[in-house]
Chain A
Amino acid sequence: MKIRTAISAVAALVVAPALAAGERLVVPLSDPAQPARLEVSLVMGSIEVVAGKAGEVVIEATPGALGEHDHDHECEDCPAIAGRAADKEERGRAKLKRIPNDSYELAAEEKANRVTVSTDSWARAIALRIAVPEASSVSLSTVNDGDLVVGGLSGEIELHNTNGNVTVRDARGPVSANTLNGDVTVSFGSNIASAPMAFSTLNGDIDLTLPAGARFDVRLKSENGEIYSDFDVVLARNAPKVEEERGKGRYRVSVTKELTGEVGGGGPEIFLKTFNGDIVLRRRDG
């Protein structure tokens, strides 16, 4: 198999603000006519996936978490780090300029249109921006220092974050999104996939925007928060759960805090669950 490779990197002045423009890795797909299946797992950093050209996956990387202040930049006049000048002198580094030591690892594997991206994000945070063919499916995860953002894809979307937000814009395929400490914000295009979907967080809000004519079943649960809806949700009465302790003649009756209902006559189930946060169901008109 012939390997095509393409790379472009912007030669920016290093000693000025670090490498602001990211470097790109272009991965051609084995079958350019088909969409990709993208899998990325980070430890530290953010991932944004957007719709791009057919036939290739383009990965752009920027070291450090997005929006993170560059603590290491040279600032001789800053009073806060005036002590550094003396430190430089002492170590024989006076008059020298510092080159940011922010190298990182970026690799991608492609087989039958399945693209797996690997980085050394366990060592330092990295911000990835990846363009995939519009119908591609993505599975993304990160733990610290970043959000997961997907926009404009019609494939299946699966997102796992731990300490950060999860955002999906203009989804047309099935979406499953969860995080622990952060918000889950998902908006769908003109119709939603006829597949069960789940959105959950522990400490954060869930904000879901659905097209006006959407038909779905819904299960909602917020332990310490409110539930708001643009849609008329026809709630089903939850039958209390009755348990009998075997042979002791004692019964335990419980009602779950979960609400179940249907919208527009019902359809595939959408499950929304948070512990400390609100749930918002929005209707997108037009």
Chain B
Amino acid sequence: MSPERVSWMAFVCVALAVPAAATERADVLRREIALPAGARTVEIDNVFGGVEVRGGAGDRVAVEIRRTATARREADLALAFDEVTLVVDEWANGVALVQDGPFRCEARGRDRRGRRHRWGDCRWDPDYELDWQWTVTVPAGVELEVRTVNGGAITVDGVRGGVSAANVNGPLRLAGLAGEVSAATVNGEIVAEYAIAPSADASFETVNGSIEIVLPAGSSADVNLETMNGELWSDFAVTAAPRRAEATASRRGDRYRLDHDTRVRIGAGGPRFECKTLNGDIVLRER
């Protein structure tokens, strides 16, 4: 073998070795929590990763988290698993499941566990990437509050109590809804499907994404639609609901204003739905 050929092969080996330096570690974390008697609330507070929640029978909350960390060095991987932990916070009215770590630097004041978050404690620049994919089964009747920020969708199916879902960089897919709904994201679509004709108010808000609401035939609601760069579509025969006039007094004078949203009524009208997006369509679909 000529010396040129050897050095060329050595170069290939080095080139292959560099990307291989990134390593990955994964595991599955399982927890099962019995909700205290009378507890009604389940809160899931994630930052990195997607969350899937299903309503089930019984009074237990079953959590399964596929945790993945990627880093260049083993030490960083260990740190990712060491400093980012699942905190299960049981309190009188329910349970909170929190992805806790040094990135929790928002000044929330005192959290539920009485721990004080300090201001200006936010210089978190890790040498690893983190992804927790949650699969949670909750009693179907609970009030669910679920949040995440990066790296995945929030999927909720069959939770019959109120659902409050907030994402930032990912969509919201809610199905089997029956209670009050609050859904907000920034970059992602919202799909919300009701199991029964809605009887409680709901709000759906995104910035970059469409909103699709699926209701059973015969549903009634008063819907407020607002999109800047998008279109409004409906399966239902809708009527224009009267716009409300507001009047306020100030030193500059009395102010009278017609709110500037598009209001429509489905069926006989009823619960108020607020739908708001900037870049995307809003679709009301009949199932």
CB contacts under 8 Å to A, within B207-242, are: 225-227, 230-235, 237-242
- Residue of B237, B255, B264 near A109 (CB, 8 A) is B255
- Is B285 interfacial (CB-CB < 8 Å)? yes
A106 CB contacts on chain B under 8 angstroms: 257-258, 260
B283 CB contacts on chain A under 8 angstroms: 92-93, 96
A108 CB contacts on chain B under 8 angstroms: 255-257
A101 and B243: CB pair below 8 A?
no
CB contacts under 8 Å to B, within A1-58, are: 1, 3-9, 11-15, 19, 23, 25-27, 30
* Interface SS majority for chain B: strand
Which residue, of B239, B255, B281, has the highest number of chain A Cβ atoms within 10 A?
Answer: B255
- Is A111 interfacial (CB-CB < 8 Å)? yes
- Is A95 interfacial (CB-CB < 8 Å)? yes
A107-B243 in contact given A97-B234, A101-B227 (Cβ < 8 Å): no
A15 and B237: CB pair below 8 A?
yes
B253 and A110: CB pair below 8 A?
yes
State how many angstroms separate the Cβ of B183 from the closest Cβ of chain A: 20
- Residue of A30, A92, A99 near B234 (CB, 8 A) is A99
B232 CB contacts on chain A under 8 angstroms: 98-101
- Is B117 interfacial (CB-CB < 8 Å)? no
Instruction: Encode contact with A along B103-122: 1 for CB under 8 Å, 0 otherwise.
Output: 00000000000000000000
- Is A89 interfacial (CB-CB < 8 Å)? no
What is the size category of the interface that chain B forms with chain A?
35 or more
- Is B85 interfacial (CB-CB < 8 Å)? no
B258 and A3: CB pair below 8 A?
no
- Is B254 interfacial (CB-CB < 8 Å)? yes
- Is A254 interfacial (CB-CB < 8 Å)? no
A101-B240 in contact given A107-B255, A110-B254 (Cβ < 8 Å): no
A96 and B233: CB pair below 8 A?
yes
A223 CB contacts on chain B under 8 angstroms: none
**In the complex, what distance in Å separates the CA atom of A93 from the CA atom of B243?**
27
State how many angstroms separate the Cβ of B262 from the closest Cβ of chain A: 4
- Is B252 interfacial (CB-CB < 8 Å)? yes
What is the size category of the interface that chain A forms with chain B?
35 or more
Instruction: Encode contact with B along A168-186: 1 for CB under 8 Å, 0 otherwise.
Output: 0000000000000000000
- Which B-chain residue is minimally distant from A61 (CB atoms)? B258
- Is A120 interfacial (CB-CB < 8 Å)? yes
B243 and A23: CB pair below 8 A?
yes
A5 and B240: CB pair below 8 A?
no
B264 and A99: CB pair below 8 A?
yes
- Is A226 interfacial (CB-CB < 8 Å)? no
A25-B254 in contact given A7-B244, A19-B240, A99-B233 (Cβ < 8 Å): no
State how many angstroms separate the Cβ of B161 from the closest Cβ of chain A: 30
Instruction: Encode contact with A along B253-287: 1 for CB under 8 Å, 0 otherwise.
Output: 11111101110100000000000000001010100
**In the complex, what distance in Å separates the CA atom of A6 from the CA atom of B258?**
11
B252 and A109: CB pair below 8 A?
yes
**In the complex, what distance in Å separates the CA atom of A91 from the CA atom of B240?**
25
- Is B17 interfacial (CB-CB < 8 Å)? no
- Which A-chain residue is minimally distant from B223 (CB atoms)? A99
A99-B257 in contact given A7-B244, A25-B245 (Cβ < 8 Å): no
The 9 closest A-B pairs by CB, nearest first: A111-B253, A7-B245, A99-B232, A107-B257, A105-B260, A5-B247, A96-B233, A9-B242, A3-B247
Given A4-B247, A5-B256, 16 more A-B residue pairs with CB atoms under 8 Å apart are A3-B248, A7-B242, A7-B243, A7-B245, A11-B241, A12-B240, A13-B240, A25-B258, A91-B281, A92-B283, A96-B283, A98-B232, A103-B225, A105-B257, A105-B260, A109-B253
| Chain B interface (Cβ < 8 Å from any Cβ of A) | 225-227, 230-235, 237-249, 252-258, 260-262, 264, 281, 283, 285
**What are 27 sample pairs from A and B whose C-beta atoms fall under 8 A apart?**
A3-B248, A7-B242, A7-B244, A8-B242, A9-B242, A11-B240, A11-B242, A15-B237, A26-B256, A27-B254, A93-B231, A96-B235, A96-B283, A97-B234, A97-B235, A99-B232, A99-B238, A99-B264, A101-B262, A104-B260, A106-B257, A107-B258, A108-B256, A111-B252, A111-B253, A112-B253, A120-B260
